[in-house]
Amino acid sequence: MGRSPCCEKAHTNKGAWTKEEDDRLIAYIRAHGEGCWRSLPKAAGLLRCGKSCRLRWINYLRPDLKRGNFTEEEDELIIKLHSLLGNKWSLIAGRLPGRTDNEIKNYWNTHIRRKLLSRGIDPTTHRAINEPAASREVTTISFAGSTTKEETEKCITAGINSNNKEENSPVSERCPDLNLELRISPPYQQQALEPLKTGGRTSSLCFACSLGAQNSKGCSCNESGSSSNSGYDFLGLKTGVLDYRSLEMK
């Protein structure tokens, strides 16, 4: 016996939402809150699939959505997070307040992806497209062994902090499936040692902080002068292995 459909498709609207539908959905959620998307359409008087209502609310109607163009800081963060997480849009969105997974996914596919390709960078591997295969031993973080979202979050934070070269890293203990094949290379340009510059000004947040790991072991905000030991270098973002700061983003 197959699964029952999520809604009665014959009696549901599809396509673009009307203003009236939006108003109904907003009014209902304001009155009753989110939850039970399956029964929501009927209760709210909407001829829509529950899934469609959820998507519309999460991606468009939610009051805390930022909307508008992505900033340079957001661009950089998305690229860095994607290099760490891959197409885990919901996780990436979780680190960008006011942005949705759908929005970020679209932005990636329409803007960032093309930009990286035009620079000769593979948007999937975050490596130079013509880079020899032998040198493509990249940092890959697998979440296959992370059974819960919380564990995955721990692994992300662990990844942020994994720059230290100590042996027997606690990261491995917490996340046994975490592949920490790190690529460690010396800085190849002086610029890489300068503080992170974004949009023509200097950002005061290190990558660890931008990921919500303030005051963690990998946080380098409080280090004076050189940031050569900061926590986000595990991707080579500062060493010059990957340096997206030179990229122009619209």
Binding site for DNA (CB under 7 A): 1, 3-4, 6, 13-17, 35-39, 49-52, 54-56, 59-60, 87-91, 101-103, 105-107, 109-111, 114, 147-148, 250
Nearest to 61 by CA among 22, 113, 27: 22
Closest to DNA by CB, 65 vs 221, is 65
Beta-bridge partners for 128 = 121
Closest to DNA by CB, 134 vs 144, is 144
Minimum CB–partner distance for residue 34 and DNA (Å) = 7
SS (H, E, C) 193-234: HCCCEECCEECCCCHHHHCCCCCCCCCCCCCCCCCCCCHHHH
Integer-rounded Cα Rg, in Å, for the chain is 21
Give the number of residues written for the chain: 250
Minimum CB–partner distance for residue 97 and DNA (Å) = 15
Closest to DNA by CB, 56 vs 127, is 56
Minimum CB–partner distance for residue 152 and DNA (Å) = 9
Minimum CB–partner distance for residue 42 and DNA (Å) = 11
Minimum CB–partner distance for residue 111 and DNA (Å) = 6
Closest to DNA by CB, 59 vs 172, is 59
Tokens of 160: 């942020």
Residue with tokens 């610029």: 191
Q: Label residue 118 exposed, middle or buried (CB < 10 Å: 0-12, 13-18, 19+).
A: exposed
Closest to DNA by CB, 92 vs 213, is 92
Q: What amino acid is encoded at 137 in this protein?
A: E
How far apart, in whole angstroms, are the C-alpha atoms of residue 212 and residue 170?
A: 19
Closest to DNA by CB, 82 vs 238, is 82
Minimum CB–partner distance for residue 96 and DNA (Å) = 13
